Amino acid sequence: MYENIDFDNIDLTQNPPQEEPDRQYYYIAKARQYVQEKSRKKGRPLTFCVNTFGCQMNARDSEKLIGILEQIGYVKKETEDADFVIYNTCTVRENANNKVYGRLGYLHSQKKKNPDMMIGLCGCMMQEPEVVEKIRTSYRFVDLVFGTHNIYKFAELIVAAFESKGMIVDIWKDTDKIVEDLPVERKYTFKSGVNIMFGCNNFCSYCIVPYVRGRERSRDPKDIIREIERLVADGVVEVMLLGQNVNSYGKNLEHPMTFAQLLEEVEKIDGLERIRFMTSHPKDLSDELIEVLGKSKKICKHLHLPLQSGSSRILKEMNRHYTKEQYLELVKKIRAAVPDIALTTDIIVGFPGETEEDFLETMEVVKEVQYDSAFTFIYSKRTGTPAATKEDQVSPEVVKDRFDRLLHVVQEIGSQKAGALQGTVQKVLIEEINAQDEHLVTGRLSNNSVVHVPGGADLIGKIVNVSLDECKGFYYLGTLAEGR
């Protein structure tokens, strides 16, 4: 366990070990020496800033980067005028890429002010060869580029960057490797993401994720349970099990196990209060899982179930492997087992070939399911995916009009549903001091709704009973109730 390692006492006169994670412990120790030397020269600690784009998976990866940087001796800073700035990028839609290019210009100006500054780029966008090519040629001030498969090597790459004059680029196409026991620094003391699997095998025709995150690999359940037990011992009460498609967890393990079985094991962990997971693919959501959802005391009453489209024809084109009817049937079964579950979804508008009729079917499903909220996206053409080569791309004006209509319906339904628990007392995990009003703290219900309550920092990380006095659109105002 890395907590027990004394990085100042690793023998650096030896060659680096070949085995992981020992090799990275060696490089953490080595980078630490460089950082100590550099801060001595500067007369101040070296700082870092990690800027994360994209999903929960990336957020968790950033916690790993931060864990390593802190062991190396860097001090965290929220602003980008730091000695080492890292962008952990997303590429799921084109505007995610554009944002990064835009900001790189600003980073260049920072580097001119502080020539010792290091700039690192990693994450999904770096798995695209064209992106790396563009960075090599047009953004030569970048020091380090790596991808999604080798973030565990961060310390080794930092040492390489310290010892090199040029840009270090290390991108792997794929991997079957999972390295355990590396440092990680959690953003919250009381809740944590936990990777249960990496990669994706689904190849939805619009989606770049399988190309940038590689093939599906599940972590050994023993490693997952051990990690959660340690987190709980360290004060964590809520975990979010993370995977691109958690419903297919365990299929490629030496001793295969289902996601439902994993959930039952996680449920047994004493001291763990809440379990969330993300993301579910409807095609793999089993009856066994629904049964576990129904009887669990710890799994939160919230399911994110991406629909993408309500038209069976478009779903087929998207390679989603379910029809509108199958999706609706699934929702019925889930609601029968867990009547008060909150359902949220992702929807793409303007997939190539989407007609007005297809779109109206999506609207129908939205009205029928009555989602608590939905993320709506305009289709973005991702080079390399099958959908990108389709001829019948929908015109931007039509897409915009559909998008606005969909958003309107989603919001209307969301606000009607939002107040359902008004007047009841519910358990709330208090997460932070309210950003607008320091006399309030903000927390979440099991169903993921946000609640603001008068109170102070002593409540953070606690699960308390709250009377939900008033619903204000998308959040509740409450007061602490008896028996907390």
**How many whole angstroms separate alpha carbon 334 and alpha carbon 340?**
10
Which of ligand SF4, ligand 5AD, none does residue 348 bind to, with CB < 5 to 8 Å depending on kind? Answer: ligand 5AD
Of 73 and 123, which has the nearer Cβ to ligand SF4?
A: 123
Residue 77 structure tokens: 């800073």
Q: Which does 377 bind (CB under 5 to 8 A by kind): ligand 5AD, ligand SF4, none?
A: ligand 5AD
Tell which one of 10, 85, 92, 159 touches ligand SF4 (CB under 6 A).
92
Q: Which stretch binds ligand 5AD (CB under 6 A): 361-369, 376-384, 412-420, 444-452?
A: 376-384
* 74-133: contacts with ligand 5AD (CB under 6 A): 92-93
Beta carbon of residue 202, minimum distance to ligand 5AD (angstroms, whole number): 11
Measured CA to CA, the distance from residue 456 to residue 334 in angstroms comes to 37
Amino acid occupying residue 36: Q
Q: Helix, strand or coil for residue 364? A: helix
Nearer to ligand 5AD, 55 or 225 (CB): 55
Sequence-ordered list of residues with C-beta below 8 angstroms from that of 5, at least 6 positions apart, any chain: 25
If one asks whether residue 413 binds ligand SF4 (CB under 6 A), the answer comes out as no
Neighbours of 8 (CB within 10 A): 9
300 is known to lie in a ligand binding site: no
Q: Tell me which residue of 249, 250, 251 sits closest to 277, measured CA to CA.
A: 249
Cα separation, 166 vs 169, whole angstroms? 9
- C-beta of residue 388 within 8 angstroms of C-beta of residue 432: no
Site for ligand SF4 in 102-141 (CB under 6 A): 124
HEC assignment per residue over 375-425: EEEECCCCCCCHHHHCCCCCCHHHHHHHHHHHHHHHHHHHHHHHHHHCCCE
237 binds ligand 5AD (CB under 6 A): no
Q: Which of 47, 52, 373, 380 binds ligand 5AD (CB under 6 A)?
A: 380
Distance of alpha carbon 184 from alpha carbon 219, whole angstroms: 17
Which listed residue (308, 311, 362, 426) binds ligand 5AD by CB under 6 A? 308
Q: Is 57 in the site for ligand SF4 (CB under 6 A)?
A: yes
| 124 in a labelled binding site | yes
Q: Give yes or no for a contact between 50 and 88, defined as CB atoms under 8 angstroms apart.
A: yes
Q: Residues binding ligand 5AD: what is the number (CB under 6 A)?
A: 12
Nearest CB to ligand SF4, comparing residues 214 and 352 = 214
- Known binding-site residue numbers for [4Fe-4S] cluster: 55, 90, 124, 200, 204, 207
Q: Interface with ligand 5AD by CB under 6 A: which residues?
A: 92-93, 206-207, 306, 308, 346, 348, 377, 379-380, 382
Q: Interface with ligand SF4 by CB under 6 A: which residues?
A: 54-55, 57-58, 90-92, 124, 209, 212-213
